[in-house]
Structure 1
Amino acid sequence: MATPSAPWWRDAVMYQVYLRSFRDGNSDGVGDLRGARSGLAYLSTLGVDGVWISPCFPSPQRDHGYDVSDYCAIDPLFGDLDDFDLLVRDAHQLGLKVVLDIVPNHCSSDHPRFQEALAAGPGSEARRWFHFAEGRGADGSLPPNNWRAMFGGPAWTRVVEPDGRPGQWYLHMFTPHQPDWNWRTPEVADLFDKVLRFWLDRGVDGFRIDVAVGLFKHPDLPDSPDPTADEDARDAINPLAWNQPEVHTVWRRWRAICDEYDAYDGKQRTLVGEVAVPTPSDQALYLRPDELHQAFYFDLLHTPWDASAFRERIGAALHDIASTGAPVTWVLNNHDQQRTVTRYGQSVLPGQEPDLDRGAARALAAALLMLALPGSAYLYQGEELGLPEVTDLPLDALTDPIVAATGRPEAGRDGCRVPLPWSGTKPPFGFTGAEADRTWLPQPDWFDRYTVQLLRANGDSCWHTYRDGLQLRRTVPALRDPALRWLADDDGILAFARGEGFVCAVNFTDAPVPAPFRGTPLLSSQPCDDGKLAANTAAWWIVDPAA
């Protein structure tokens, strides 16, 4: 959709392929690169601009690939480098960009560098690559500080030294299997320079950066004034472990590498960061012209279904982030969040089951709202199918390390990661071959109502609304205008205009309201009678600016 003078990433709509759950190409029940490659034509037909591929590097898979043991290879679970190269080739032939997930805050405890550090012992050069520290107390049996891990429990684990005695502790802000790199050691930065160049040389169009506010920790590793904040909120709150000022030096360094490649071949790479910070103005610091190109704006994931709240959070992003010259990168879901249909269907009354019909209406309205906003957007796989969260997975099927660390099944992320339903009326719904024993997470029987095959055949389905919205983003001239003008609105209604004559209005209430314009909308998330905007519905109009 980008104009010739604007980089593609400024208003691209990218589709997150959570590789394990997108499509299986070798019938082992786990999604892989061959499966993803076979789904590229589907994504091209849907109308997205590219794909974000979750980590596919060699890994013990204790956190499903976010525990990397080799950054410059492919895990055999997903294929090999030839499979990756073919995926990039086919994507580019279809006009799709490829953004690869990179994990620079931590690695796997199986990574050769960490194993070397364990074997080398205290005071060694190898241990400088990570955060090793002496314990507190007379015998060093207490952790070096009071920090808690994001996934539950202490952020420190004590090692057994090469001589067999209890020894130092190492820092892991997620699980004990994911030691944090020490970015104050220059060789760590050198390592990741090589990693970026390795994948850029293979043709990727950019990187999604996991935990982009991490990397640097306070050099003294002092106690946190609120040690349980990260653990309770599963968010980057501890100011001593996240958002340290030195992290910006890394993004300037990575931006320079991307700029070097851009200058060489005229292509445009992007760095999109997972930047979870308290305010949009904090996020804007990561988007200065020589740092990240983009950063996910997460506020809408946590905003209640309320017109005033959405207007406030959208306005803050456009004011603080767009003022840097960077686009806002909108998201409503990802592989770490409850699916929007279930989230928007939740009752305010405790213990009451979600109203999935209302949730589906709100989720589709939110998607059209997001697609109408200036900037770029990232869609999570399966949202175009209207998939709800799978909330009744058997306990013995749960794989999320958060569940193991906290003992709380409801805290896990498995429910949004169940493999996609492609076709048919019973599991595995075309996700894998019939010869597969099972899928890595079990699919419920009710997935038969959400298959790609079924929804594509129904011209009134949410899939077609997504497809039509994506097509209009490319073809309506007004949607190339980066400006947004709020329109006078009533309680429960959000409306804005872009360019010459484009209007988006969203009814956040549970009852129809008068539409801002007569006539049939260009596109709406639910059918609207003439002069009415249906409950929990977004609609787009093209109107005469002089009217």
Structure 2
Amino acid sequence: MNDESAETPEAVIAEPAWVHHAVWWRLYPLGFVGSYPPPQTGAPGPGERRLRRIIAWLDHAVELGASGIALGPIFTAATHGYDTLDHFAIDPRLGDEHDFDALVSQAHRRGLRIQLDGVFNHVSRDHRLAQAALRDGPAGQAAGWFRTVGSSERVELATFEGHQQLVALNHDNPEVQAHVVQVMRHWLDRGADSWRLDAAYAVPTAFWAQALPAVRATHPDVWFEAEVLHGDYAAFVRDSTADATTQYELWKAIWSSIDDRNFHELDWALRRHNAMLAGFVPATFIGNHDVTRIATQIADTRHLPHAIVLLTMLGGTPGVYAGDEFALEGVKEHRPGGDDAIRPEFPAHGPGLPAGNQPIHRLYQHLIGLRRRHPWLHHARSTTLHLDNQQYLIRMTHDADHLDVALNLADHPLQLTQNARILAADPETGHDSGQVGPHGWAVFVGSDGAGHR
């Protein structure tokens, strides 16, 4: 049985009720609409209103089972979107505020919430305040907006993780906090429902602990997802008051344990995941705009469905990175342009579904639908019923509800619990005679006390 070895917050975060049913469809807008990197024919102009291309995909998100659209950066930026120039303006490569309003209106009409990406740790070196700080020196008013390094005779702006074009804001400055609060309120007033806090781990938690409650005071239904790569997620939630952190630890364990055929790694990660769920519900994923595509990461294509099963059945607030439902491939490379392969342009007039990807698309639909019919999975914790390197049987439980998940990476069958009632299973391997076939999987309701046999 899984123990709970990770630290937990002192109290459960009271996230908005709508999040209990949330499944995000996440996309990187500049790449999605072909605005970055610039096409060979030249960068799009404001008249192209490319942000509206996303509207053609909203029905696809609904049919997939998503309840919200999580957008990457859409504010005016120098290049890739995370180098902000103006937090109050839509990037002209995407369109303008009227295009944003149209997207929000069409999304809300379909029951889809909108999450925005808030880059509040740093801005572009070309930002007007950064340029003013460099021009006016330490005595200038703008210098106080940024973290500085070096001598006091001239301003040298601190950078974000060595990226010279990304200069770090000074979060001890009350003006910076007021600015961030104002930005978040502005776009919530305009129809956004949630904020992703980019590079939240690089910002002092005391800053978030002041800014986020101030935003909640005027928008109590907002949900804050903090990007945290590693460390004590629970302590970050407790100290920052964010609703959730990104669960990178679980992301790594899912693909790595499947690819290496070592479910002991996943079992260890789920012990920590259980402990987090005692205090907050993490944001779970198997793909995003910063990592190698899951269809590429897992070498054996027979085992890609196993990762999808885990995403949809484990406790958390899951997000599907646009294109993963088509089994798109792409490698993240640590070099200039190394994100391009995982942030491709999508068709302008809505989805076209290649025949070879239909089974994966249907699987996402089926499993997200199953999750939506069992909303208690949002808070569910796992208990290990059977574990070895290549076979894993876990029970998901919340209060009186439970269901079981069987994952088999081996060349021989995996026995299920007695009297198993199958809810979903791998159509290729079957589940005859109370077992999951080689390299198969199943989601089922097992007997309350039988366990693995």
Where on the TM-score scale, by shorter chain, does this alignment land: which range? 0.7 to 0.9
Distance in 2 separating the partners of 1:253 and 1:120: 30
Residue 428 of structure 2 corresponds to residue 527 of structure 1: yes
- Structure having the higher strand fraction is 2
Note the C-alpha offset of 1:77.
Answer: 0.4
Residue 470 in structure 1 maps to residue 373 in structure 2: no
In the alignment, what sits opposite 2:9?
A: none
Distance 1:468 1:307, change over 3 A: same
* 1:48 to 2:66 alignment: yes
Given the alignment, which residue of 4, 19, 42 partners 2:29? 19
Q: Deviations over 1:334-360 (max 9, x none)?
A: 111111121121xxxxxxxxxxxx1x3
Aligned length: 414
Deviation at 1:126, TM superposition (A): 1.8
Query: Paired residue for 1:177?
Result: 165
Task: Give the letter aligned to residue 186 of structure 1.
Answer: P
Report the Cα distance in structure 2 between the residues aligned to 1:466 and 1:505, rounded to whole angstroms: 17
Show the 5 A alignment for 1:327-366.
Answer: 327-345=281-299, 358=300, 360-366=301-307
Q: CA RMSD in A?
A: 2.9
Q: Shift in Å at residue 463 of structure 1?
A: 0.2
Identity of aligned residues (%): 25
1:394-413 per-position Cα deviation (integer Å, ceiling 9, x unaligned): xxxxxx8x524xxxx7xx22
Quickly say closer, same or farther: Cα 1:52–1:525, change in 2 above 3 A: farther
Counterpart selection for 1:318 from 259, 274, 277: 274
1:29-86 Cα offsets, whole Å, 9 max, x none, are 879421111111110111011111011111111xx10000000110110111011111
Residue by residue, what CA displacement relative to the aligned partner does 1:261-297 show, whole Å, maximum 9, x if unpaired? 345xxxx21000001233xxx1101222970011101
CA distance in 2, matches of 1:336, 1:253: 28
Residues 369 and 506 in structure 1, CA contact (< 8 A), matched pair in contact too = no
Larger radius of gyration, structure 1 or 2?
A: 1
Is contact 2:89-2:96 (8 Å) kept?
Answer: yes
Q: Residues 539 and 261 (structure 1 numbering): CA distance in 2 closer, same or farther, change over 3 Å?
A: farther
Higher helix share: 2
Corresponding residue of 1:238: none
Secondary structure of residue in 2 paired with 1:257: helix
Q: Report the counterpart of residue 138 of structure 1 in structure 2.
A: none
Residue 429 of structure 2 corresponds to residue 503 of structure 1: no
Which aligned runs of 4 or more in structure 1 are off by greater than 6 angstroms? 25-31
Distance change in 2, residues 1:485/1:45 (3 Å): same
Q: Relative contact order (alpha carbons < 8 A, sep ≥ 6): 1 or 2 greater?
A: 2
TM-score of the superposition, structure 2-length normalised? 0.83
C-alpha separation between the residues in 2 aligned to 1:342 and 1:379?
A: 15
Is contact 2:250–2:269 with CA below 8 Å preserved after alignment? yes
Q: Does 1:301 align with 2:240?
A: no
8 Å contact from structure 2 (residues 330, 341) kept in 1: yes
What letter is aligned with 2:335?
V
**Segment of structure 1 superposing worse, 180-189 or 470-479:** 470-479
- Partner residue, 1:292: 242
1:426 equivalent in structure 2: none
**Separation in structure 1 between the aligned mates of residue 394 and residue 194 of structure 2, nearest angstrom:** 32
Q: Answer whether contact 1:455 1:463 (CA < 8 A) is retained.
A: no
SS at structure 2 position matched to 1:311: helix
Q: What's the CA shift for 1:483? A: 3.8
Instruction: Note the alpha carbon deviations across 1:446-483, whole angstroms, 9 max, x for none.
Output: xxxxx74234994xx11000001011111147646634
**Change in 2 beyond 3 A, CA 1:259/1:122:** closer
Mapped pair 1:374 → 2:315: yes
Matches within 5 A, 1:45-444: 45-61=63-79, 64-134=80-150, 168-174=155-161, 175-215=163-203, 247-263=204-220, 268-278=221-231, 282-288=232-238, 291-303=241-253, 304-305=256-257, 306-319=262-275, 321-324=276-279, 326-345=280-299, 358=300, 360-389=301-330, 403-404=335-336, 412-420=338-346, 431-432=347-348
Q: Distance in 2 between matches of 1:519 and 1:482?
A: 20
Cα offset for 1:28? 7.6
Query: Does the CA-based 8 Å contact 1:11-1:375 persist in structure 2?
Result: no
Q: SS in structure 2 opposite 1:374?
A: coil
